Amino acid sequence: MPRHSRGFDTDAAFAHLARCDRKLGTWMKKLGPIKPDPRWRKAFDPVDALARAILYQQLSGKAAGTIVGRVEGAIGSTRFHCDTLAKVDDPGLRACGVSGNKTLALRDLAAREARGEIPDLRRMSTMDNDAIIDALTSIRGIGRWTVEMMLMFRLGRPDVLPVDDLGVRKGAQVVDKLEEMLKPKELLERGERWGPYRTYASLYLWRIADAGVKAKEPTRRSQE
């Protein structure tokens, strides 16, 4: 059974994308190389990462961090798993600031872990992207985008294109100088030429989107 390594050759990705897409390549050369993410080589716990993703959804980083800290205090651990989450009841989670929907999502995650349904890193290394997405999006509160972020930033999979991400779509709009953002299906077709390094292309599209927004910001004139 083939295994998927974590991370990829960013130099090869840069050369490939610059060669196959001149518009994107122009931006890439302007922004410079993006180095490999150090998280690609670090071990992590998928169940704990998914629990934290649930808690951080639709909240600012500061607010979510406060709630996470309260839950850690309530369970007496910094590790979110079925055994530790069992140490606090639903009212206890609500008292920490966890919403009803997120509480249900955490309970579903814990139950699936207890049944052995959540693949660990070793098992994920034998699964392709779609198989991991299918396995994890069955969890309540975990959508495709959340799993795609794990694939890109934690597992270092080279060929992920999150077509529903507004930043990626905005970046593609800037590259192609379009009046409107491409629809997800259109972006999927547009991104076919970026394979097998669509993750690396996405990293640039986020940066290009940020650069495009800054370029449109009005220059403030100093008061004389």
Three-state SS at 88: coil
pLDDT value, residue 60: 86
Q: Can 165 be counted among the known catalytic residues?
A: yes
* pLDDT number for residue 213: 63
pLDDT on residue 2: 79
Phi-psi region for residue 60, left (φ > 0), alpha (ψ -120 to 50) or beta? beta
Give the span between the Cα atoms of 178 and 71, in whole angstroms.
45
So what's the pLDDT on residue 194? Answer: 98
Q: Which residues contact 123 (CB under 8 A, 6 or more apart)?
A: none
Q: Which residue of the set 89, 165, 176, 210 is catalytic?
A: 165
pLDDT of residue 139: 97
pLDDT of residue 216: 58
Task: Report the alpha-carbon distance of residue 19 to residue 76 in Å, rounded.
Answer: 52
Query: Residue 1: what pLDDT?
Result: 64
Q: What confidence score (pLDDT) does residue 222 get? A: 42
Full-model pTM: 0.90
Residue 201: per-residue pLDDT: 98
Both tokens assigned to 124: 């994920």
Enumerate residue ranges in the chain where pLDDT < 50. Answer: 218-219, 221-224
Q: How far apart are CA 185 and CA 189, in angstroms?
A: 6
Q: Is 87 helix (H, G, I), strand (E, B) or coil?
A: coil
End-to-end CA distance of the chain: 70
